[in-house]
Amino acid sequence: MNTTARTSNPQLPSAMSLNEAQELLTLYASNPPFRSASDQELVLNENPCRRPVRPEDLEFLDYRGILKEEEVLGLSSLIGHRMLLNINDTDMVLLPLSENESAWREFEHFYSRDNRVLGEMVRSTLETHLFHFLEERAVCTKLVSADDLKDYFSSVFQEYCSSRNSVVDTILSRVNRQVSATTFLIQLLASSLSGVPAMMHSAQGNYSAVHYELFSFLERNGYTMRSSEDGRIADLQSMVRSRKLHDQPHTYWQYYLTSSLALANYAHYVARDPLKFFRYLGALFYQELRSKALASQHKQMLQEIFGSDIDTKYFGQQEKYGQDYAVAAFDSLITPTIVKYGNARCQDIVQGFDEFKLLHEIAEQDLIAQVIWVDQAKLYQEKGRRIYEKIQSENMQLPLDTFVEQASECSTTHIHDAHRLLVIEAGVMHFWNALDSSFVFEPGDITLVPSQRLHGSTVLSGECTYHQPIISDELMLEFNKMF
Ligand SMILES: [Fe+2]
């Protein structure tokens, strides 16, 4: 993290120093609902306020600076986005699903005045850390008129409509396609259950023609809380229920990838800040073009994998949109805004469009890397074994972490910023990296955990001792020559 960036943190409240912000973040993460998960909490289906953050990681994570683009899938980003979504979700009413007393205690902690005030105090530090890289990435093309924007947005829509989606191709070519497709569905829940309501936030305002157009656009596109045939959330819930998945937020919290959390948080980031209203419009428009353009590919992928078992009405309602959708949608949402407020707003609109486009592109690469790793478990165990043999035979001195954990000790899902081997010396470990993808590792078992890949573990024996040699990117390139 460079010190120049730290001293020029552009959104930090002037009354708070960076060190104070870091201390407040540690305090924020210490709220009981954010404690690490137990071995009984791999799936959290009773209590939407139970949000394991891994607060112990705040002991070494540093939020005083700004992430570079290549760091946005790192551990500080995962933990930071978990905290930021917790802050954002206090805008919503997330009731426990039963009379369970402990769930209601956590509900009270989650919505307590202290938690909400503290959340607002650290919000800008987190948002700057996580999203400032978007602003540093200059928009290449200067788009100065409504016609420029319409041409650019339409070209993106046409490109998505006419090309194969890389996530779809990756999932369809997996050995265990159902696990991969389930991971896809869980990421959709991660980005939508909070992100869709966030996008509705900006429809409230001064009841001008611009707001009525926005409200109408949102309604036409399924942004409604009505459990009707046009409701995007209701259709998503129906789809996941048809796969016997839970439909309540945030049951699969531990399986949310960093980039999926980022999509939800970005929706809040632009929608809840009136100063970002025109960026919000651009981001909303990108989201709609993207979902329409990819709907039929996503639907066909899920039907090919799950057959008639899956309810795909969520995508089906979007299939009716053809190539001219982008132009018509632009004229309904963007044109009235530019007519009223002038071409000066174009750059903000395209900024929001491009920022959300970039975040979606990062999310696609994150998901692709995760499903490939999950699907190739045996290959990564073989790679790990051969790398470990080489380390030992050549007496290579690598940085090494050794852990001794007790029975039932659980590592809430996390990622590492470097590649690591996992070498079990003694005891038994339950290791998981996706819903329905887990392994029981015993003494002598080894696997390779690539950097930025989400995983968690639980000790199944009385005690488990394991080692993690840490492998730099440069050394990994050398090791890769063996395969
Ligand atoms: Fe780990």
**5-25 tens-digit pLDDT:** 334 455 555 568 889 999 999
Cα(395) to centroid of ligand 1, in Å? 24
Cα(122) to centroid of ligand 1, in Å? 27
Cα(475) to centroid of ligand 1, in Å? 19
Total-model pTM: 0.95
CATH architecture, domain defined by 377-480: Sandwich (2.60)
Per-residue confidence (pLDDT) for residue 201, from 0 to 100: 86
| CB-based contact 18:6 (threshold 8 Å) | yes
- Centroid of chain to Cα 79: 11
Cα(373) to centroid of ligand 1, in Å? 14
Cα(410) to centroid of ligand 1, in Å? 11
Q: Per CATH, which fold does 141-374 belong to?
A: Heme Oxygenase; Chain A (1.20.910)
- Centroid of chain to Cα 400: 29
Over residues 334-344, mean pLDDT:
92
| CB-based contact 129:63 (threshold 8 Å) | yes
Residue with tokens 């991971």: 183
Cα angle 319, 320, 323; round to 5: 95
| CB-based contact 455:449 (threshold 8 Å) | yes
| CB-based contact 221:288 (threshold 8 Å) | yes
Q: Which backbone phi and psi does 311 adopt, to 5 degrees?
A: -90, 110
Cα(185) to centroid of ligand 1, in Å? 24
Assigned token pair, 443:
């003494």
Give the helix/strand (H/E) hosting 115: helix 113-136
Distance in angstroms (rounded) separating the CA atoms of residues 279 and 276: 5
DSSP for residue 414: E
Domain residue ranges in the chain:
3-134, 141-374, 377-480
Mean of all residue pLDDT scores within the chain: 92
Q: Which amino acid is at 214?
A: L
Give the helix/strand (H/E) hosting 15: none
Cα(368) to centroid of ligand 1, in Å? 20
Question: pLDDT tens, 18-64?
Answer: 899 999 999 999 999 999 999 999 999 889 999 999 999 999 999 99
Cα(90) to centroid of ligand 1, in Å? 29
| CB-based contact 349:300 (threshold 8 Å) | no
Distance in angstroms (rounded) separating the CA atoms of residues 425 and 448: 15
Give one word for 448, left, alpha or beta, with left for phi > 0 and alpha for psi -120 to 50: beta
Q: Which amino acid is at 259?
A: S
Cα(428) to centroid of ligand 1, in Å? 15
Assigned token pair, 244:
């016997």
Percent of the chain beyond pLDDT 90? 84
Question: pLDDT tens, 375-411?
Answer: 999 999 999 999 999 999 999 999 999 999 999 999 9
Distance in angstroms (rounded) separating the CA atoms of residues 5 and 1: 8
Cα(455) to centroid of ligand 1, in Å? 6
Give the neighbor-by-neighbor strand order of the sheet with 410-414. 410-414, 455-459, 429-434, 437-441
| CB-based contact 267:195 (threshold 8 Å) | yes
Distance in angstroms (rounded) separating the CA atoms of residues 108 and 28: 15
